[in-house]
Amino acid sequence: MNRNVNTQVLIRQIVARLRCAVCDHHFSASDLKVLGKRDQVWAIRADCRECRMQALVLAVIGGGKAQSMHSDLTPSDWERFKAAPPISENDVISMHQHLQEYTGDFSEILDEPLPEE
């Protein structure tokens, strides 16, 4: 199967069950655009014609079937991160050490402050 046929099959499988998370509109094939792929993971932008929301859909291909999952990444986030290397063990250890030493309030770094207890 060539790449174009693979893409068409993937799009059909995703469209069959994908709805907008905001307004529940059912997407059509023309609402989806393949942004790229890495190994078995495809990044697809979904544009809702009803509410104008954009979403990033990550589709994992395995065993000839597509398994899609929603992400809180935007298509522009995907463009920014797609060439980044995977997170390494050293990255996780560094973050763990940083968090152990952090003495501030997490609401300083979060978009929304944590609720008061």
Domains identified in the chain, total number: 1
Q: Does residue 54 form part of some domain? A: yes
Q: Does residue 112 form part of some domain? A: no
Q: Does residue 38 form part of some domain? A: yes
Q: Does residue 66 form part of some domain? A: yes
Q: What pTM, to 2 d.p., does this model score?
A: 0.52
Q: Does residue 24 form part of some domain? A: yes
**pLDDT band for position 89 (cuts 50, 70, 90):** very high
Per-residue pLDDT, averaged over 51-73, amounts to 72
Q: Does residue 117 form part of some domain? A: no
Predicted pLDDT at 71: 66
Per-residue pLDDT, averaged over 38-63, amounts to 83
Per-residue pLDDT, averaged over 40-59, amounts to 87
Q: Per-residue pLDDT for 55 more than 70?
A: yes
Q: Does residue 81 form part of some domain? A: yes
Q: Does residue 82 form part of some domain? A: yes
Which residue matches tokens 């929603």?
A: 70
Q: Per-residue pLDDT for 1 more than 50?
A: no
Q: Which range marks the domain in which residue 95 is found?
A: 3-101
